[in-house]
Amino acid sequence: MKKTWLAILTLAITAVLLVALNLLSSVIFRRARVDLTERKLYTLSDGTRAIIGRIDEPITMKFYFSRKIADKRGPGLSRYAQRVQDMLDEYKRWAGDKIKLSIIDPEPYSEEEEQAASEQMEAIPVGPGESIYFGLYVQNSTDDSARIPFLPRVKEEFLEYEITKMINTVTEAKKTVVGVVSSLNVDGSPGPDAMMNPKSNKNQPWGTMSVMKQLYDVRMLGTDIESIDKDVDVLLIIHPKKLSDKTLYAIDQFVLGGGRAMVFVDPFCTVDEPAPDPKNPWMARMADRSSDMEKIFKKWGIAYSPKKVVGDQTYPYSVPYRNAQGAVTGSGPFYPVFSLKSDPNSDPNADGDAFKFFNPKEVVTSDLKDMFVGYPGYLTKRDGVDVTFIPLMTSSQDSGLFDASDVKMMSPRMLGEKFKKTDDAYTLAAYITGNVSTAFPDGKPGSKKKDKKDKQDGKKKDDPASPKTKGEIHVIVATDVDMLTNNFALNKVMTMSGPQYTKRNNNIDFLLNGIEWLAGNSDLINLRARGKIERPFEKVQEIERVAREKYQEKVKELNDELKQTNEKLKKLQQNSGGESVALLRKEQRDEIQKLKDKILSIKKDLRKNQLEMNRDKERLGMWLKVVNIALIPLLFSLFAVGLGVFRWIRRKRA
Amino acid sequence: MHNIWTITRREFVGYFITPIAYVFIVIFLLMAGFFTFSIEGFYEAGQADLSALFKWLPWMFLFLIPAVAMRLWSEERRTGTIELLMTLPVTHTQAVLGKFLAAWAFIGIALMLTFPLWITVAYLGNPDNGVIFTGYVGSLLMAGAYLAIGSCLSATTKNQVIAFIITVVLCFALNLAGISRFTAFLQGYLPASILDAIRSFSFLTRFDSISKGVFDLRDFIFFLSLIGAFLYANAVIIDLKKAN
């Protein structure tokens, strides 16, 4: 009996020790981890470590999380919050005394809650008298601060980037320097008609520029540039029209030297108004309102046409339709001007690269919800240039192209009729990076003679400022300038102190995100590479690609044939002049039937080819299933049976 | 030490003399393959990792491992061979460890035989091998934990079926502790810190962490301490039953 009680006691003590040990270890051993993932997903990246290394005065980090309230509603948010806290702990572990970290669960009506409010933390109400805080606040010793008022779930992959960016913001001594090159009066300097029209809109600085000036050190560089200063962090080029080779060279060299650039071109910019010619008002309509940097774009691996405008059917702008007399007869969609809206139901963690409107995997666009563009062009990656081309913004798949000349000439109704949608989405903005060559292999334009002479004299170019021929570029190119204008980006409110501008959509956010991301030294840019780790079945993709190529020809042929046949049929039916079928002559009826039959058989062929294309992929899948599910068990069973037989024989012999 | 090794070896070989081991392994592999490919749609999903497999392992182990564990001690007690075992010059601890290690090694072999999946995924794409490696290590640890619990419980009864059932129930409860829907119903009654502690005792939670690709000392301590505690309890129970 005694032994039993002793045993039970022993077991009880063991249980308590087990629980205690684990609870204790969960507190003590928070940092003892080894990250075995290939991309070190759970360790701070080198960029973050470098930026932490640059902290000289200790900074304060506060993590506000209403854990008690959140726990009541299920583990989802709390688990994510735990991951956030784990990551913050990693920062603290790495930074040591440089970062003072506080984890705060603000009680309602407490001092901590007031503090949270003063630091602009956002509280989401979740019940009567209860709200949840889930924000981050960073401050340096001189009261510069940065914050994320409420951490959005969708940004989990970019958490490290956001935290490091905040640290960077409060530790950076100076404001980002943005150099602006523009063929338009973005800064409101007097235009050609300043004398006659001093108060005209053309001579007011763009609202966008005012916003930028509050955040950055903005320098207007003009359009006739010799070279661009090295301390410019981001070069912002807005609507470059026929820039001189001299200026293009300066841009080329700046970017090759590692300078970041954000370029806005446009096939049709509404505010690019030619000087009015009273003798020929019609000319104004047909004037060229496009911008381009072809020489340089070619080298950056970008293909762009200033003659093509993208139209989109999904969220087009609505305009009044007029009849021939000019009276308004109703309203209708105007495809070249449209909105981009993020899909609230889309899953940013979904596989694959396809996205609609905003790229959810890039920091620059992942939190954009609503943008409004006007007569944008589009970009594609040029073959033959080895760059990484990452689309940031696209039109929807219900979009198509217009000729810029048509857009200038035709009425909205006519454009609507002419609109033909292709099933492609067009890239409206992209991030391009890679090692490229200069657009000026002969060096600085205008200095040719001197170089030749130097070569003849055998002089070596030891000059450290010698022209760069190759370099690693980081640029963002967008194909719409209108998005930055007051009409498209801002709402104007007249107040006592003059016009006030408020954001109308995320247009300005796109600009600011782009600038901040590009300006964030290379440490921050490289952080973006972390994101979601896509590991597709490359083998399967290869098979699909090969199959597609094999059948592409055939499918194209069939599709062409189908189109032709359809047209023939249509013509034939039209020629019958609307008479009822019964009155048609027999030959015509036979002809129509023959064509219809042909269409059916072509469609059947297409389907067959489609099936063929998938066949290889499916065959591989089937084969793998068999091997994995059945093979080893089969072999093993054979081995077992063999062993059994072997032993049976042995026994018989004995 | 030598004793433990002897027992381990004897037990391990013993597995492969009877057809039971082969049946077990074949069933395990068939299930693994089936769950991975058909239920989880591994091929269709197109992701080069073994998350499809590791998602189902905890649940497969839930039933398969108690089946291995139940015979560790129950049978010996029933057939009386346990007396024979105890007359040998080995301590109870050594016996318990020996049997446990043999069973663990056996499960390890079964787990290893899923290697074609790793090869398949490496052939199809470019998987993160670090993550897969930690997945296997985590699976092995989790298997050891299930096994230790099962071994201990099988020592409490002569009836293998009862041993099997109570093991499954206990392990099931430990799994449930990590699933939010179940802990949610406890939320109104218990303070958050206790709930957190309960969650941290779930096999699923711990296994999830390890198979992410991170070796956290805390997770190792969890599994190893669990194994240690239950094996110790196992020895205590054997002692007790022998005395009676």
Judged against a pLDDT cut of 90, whether residue A169 lies above it is answered with: no
For the stretch A326-369, pLDDT in tens is: 777 777 888 899 999 887 655 555 555 667 888 887 888 887 88
**Residue range A558-576: average pLDDT?**
77
- The amino acid at residue A603 is K
Judged against a pLDDT cut of 60, whether residue A463 lies above it is answered with: no
**Residue range A2-7: average pLDDT?**
80
**Residue range A424-437: average pLDDT?**
92
Contacts of B239 in chain A (CB under 8 A): 7
By C-alpha distance, which of A397, A439, A409 is closest to A310? A397
Mutate to test the interface with B, among A624, A631, A635 (most CBs of B within 10 A): A624
Mutate to test the interface with A, among B16, B20, B22, B123 (most CBs of A within 10 A): B22
Interface check B184 vs A, CB under 8 A:
yes
Dist. CA A436–CA B175, nearest whole Å? 55
- Tell whether the torsion through CA atoms of A195, A201, A202 and A206 is positive or negative: positive
Interface check B56 vs A, CB under 8 A:
no
Structure tokens at A615: 């066949």
At A525, is the pLDDT very low, low, confident or very high (cuts 50, 70, 90)?
Answer: low
Give the angle B93-B94-B97 at the CA atoms, nearest 5°: 85
Which one is predicted more confidently, A582 or B202? Answer: B202
**Is the CB of B133 less than 8 angstroms away from the CB of A22?**
no
pLDDT given for residue A457 in this prediction: 47
Q: Which of A168-182, A433-447, A580-594 has the lowest mean pLDDT?
A: A580-594
- Which of A33, A636, A640 lies at the smallest CB-CB distance from B215? A33
By C-alpha distance, which of A313, A339, A337, A316 is closest to A393? A339
Give the chain A residue nearest B228 (alpha carbons).
A18
Residue A504 CB contacts under 8 Å (≥ 6 apart), including other chains = A372, A488, A489, A490, A491
**Is the CB of A538 less than 8 angstroms away from the CB of B232?**
no
pLDDT given for residue A352 in this prediction: 55
**Is the CB of B217 less than 8 angstroms away from the CB of A33?**
yes
Structure tokens at A464: 């450290």
Which one is predicted more confidently, A634 or A494? Answer: A634
- Tell whether the torsion through CA atoms of A592, A597, A603 and A605 is positive or negative: negative
pLDDT given for residue B229 in this prediction: 93
* Greatest mean pLDDT range, A245-254, A642-651, B23-32, B117-126: A245-254
Residue A173 CB contacts under 8 Å (≥ 6 apart), including other chains = none
State pTM to two decimals: 0.56
Contacts of A19 in chain B (CB under 8 A): 197, 201
Give the chain B residue nearest A535 (alpha carbons).
B48
pLDDT given for residue A300 in this prediction: 93
Contacts of B201 in chain A (CB under 8 A): 19, 22
Contacts of A650 in chain B (CB under 8 A): none
Please check whether residue B232 is in contact with residue A14, taking contact to mean a CB–CB distance below 8 angstroms: yes
Give the chain A residue nearest B152 (alpha carbons).
A11
Contacts of B192 in chain A (CB under 8 A): 67-68, 71
pLDDT given for residue B130 in this prediction: 83
**Chain B closest CA to A10's CA: distance in Å?**
8
pLDDT given for residue A535 in this prediction: 63
Which one is predicted more confidently, A258 or B3? Answer: A258
Q: What is the dihedral of CA A214, A219, A220, A223, to 10 degrees?
A: -140
Contacts of B123 in chain A (CB under 8 A): 539
Residue A162 buriedness (CB in 10 A; 0-12 / 13-18 / 19+): middle
**Residue range B8-37: average pLDDT?**
85
- The three-state secondary structure class of B7 is helix
Mutate to test the interface with B, among A36, A39, A530 (most CBs of B within 10 A): A36
Judged against a pLDDT cut of 50, whether residue A281 lies above it is answered with: yes
**Is the CB of A628 less than 8 angstroms away from the CB of B37?**
yes
pLDDT given for residue A542 in this prediction: 78
Chain-centroid distance, C-alpha A390: 7
Judged against a pLDDT cut of 90, whether residue A428 lies above it is answered with: yes
**Is the CB of A351 less than 8 angstroms away from the CB of B19?**
no
Question: How far from A49 is each of A34, A42, A88, A520, CA to CA, in Å?
Answer: 17, 13, 13, 14
Dist. CA B232–CA B101, nearest whole Å? 14
Q: Considering only residues 117 to 176 of chain B, which have any Cβ-Cβ distance to chain A shorter than 8 Å?
A: 117, 120, 123-131, 133-134
pLDDT given for residue B143 in this prediction: 94
**Chain A closest CA to B6's CA: distance in Å?**
23
Judged against a pLDDT cut of 80, whether residue A51 lies above it is answered with: yes
pLDDT given for residue A481 in this prediction: 94
At B111, is the pLDDT very low, low, confident or very high (cuts 50, 70, 90)?
Answer: very high
Which one is predicted more confidently, B163 or A553? Answer: B163
Q: Which long-range contacts (CB under 8 A, 24 or more apart) does A639-648 make?
A: A640/B19, A640/B22, A643/B16, A644/B19
- Which of A538, A636, A644 lies at the smallest CB-CB distance from B125? A538
Dist. CA A206–CA A482, nearest whole Å? 11
**Is the CB of A537 less than 8 angstroms away from the CB of B125?**
yes
Dist. CA A50–CA A95, nearest whole Å? 10
**Residue range A420-433: average pLDDT?**
90
**Residue range A490-506: average pLDDT?**
74
The chain-wide mean pLDDT, for chain A, equals: 80
Structure tokens at A133: 């805080």
**Residue range A34-63: average pLDDT?**
80
Give the residues across from A319 on adjacent strands: A332
At A301, is the pLDDT very low, low, confident or very high (cuts 50, 70, 90)?
Answer: very high
**Is the CB of A621 less than 8 angstroms away from the CB of B131?**
no
At B2, is the pLDDT very low, low, confident or very high (cuts 50, 70, 90)?
Answer: confident
At A533, is the pLDDT very low, low, confident or very high (cuts 50, 70, 90)?
Answer: very low
pLDDT given for residue B141 in this prediction: 93
pLDDT given for residue A353 in this prediction: 61
pLDDT given for residue A346 in this prediction: 56
Give the chain B residue nearest A533 (alpha carbons).
B128
**Is the CB of A640 less than 8 angstroms away from the CB of B22?**
yes
For the stretch A368-402, pLDDT in tens is: 888 999 999 999 999 888 899 999 999 988 899 99
- Which of B38, B114, B217 lies at the smallest CB-CB distance from A29? B217
Contacts across the A-B interface (CB distance below 8 Å): 168
The enclosing H or E element of B62 equals helix B51-79
Please check whether residue A171 is in contact with residue A56, taking contact to mean a CB–CB distance below 8 angstroms: yes
Which one is predicted more confidently, B243 or A56? Answer: A56
* Largest CA-CA distance found in chain A, in angstroms, rounded: 120
Give the chain A residue nearest B28 (alpha carbons).
A633
**Is the CB of B128 less than 8 angstroms away from the CB of A37?**
yes
Give the chain B residue nearest A537 (alpha carbons).
B125
Percent of chain B with pLDDT over 70: 87
Give the chain B residue nearest A42 (alpha carbons).
B214
pLDDT given for residue A375 in this prediction: 93
Dist. CA B205–CA B176, nearest whole Å? 10
At B184, is the pLDDT very low, low, confident or very high (cuts 50, 70, 90)?
Answer: low
Which one is predicted more confidently, A296 or A613? Answer: A296
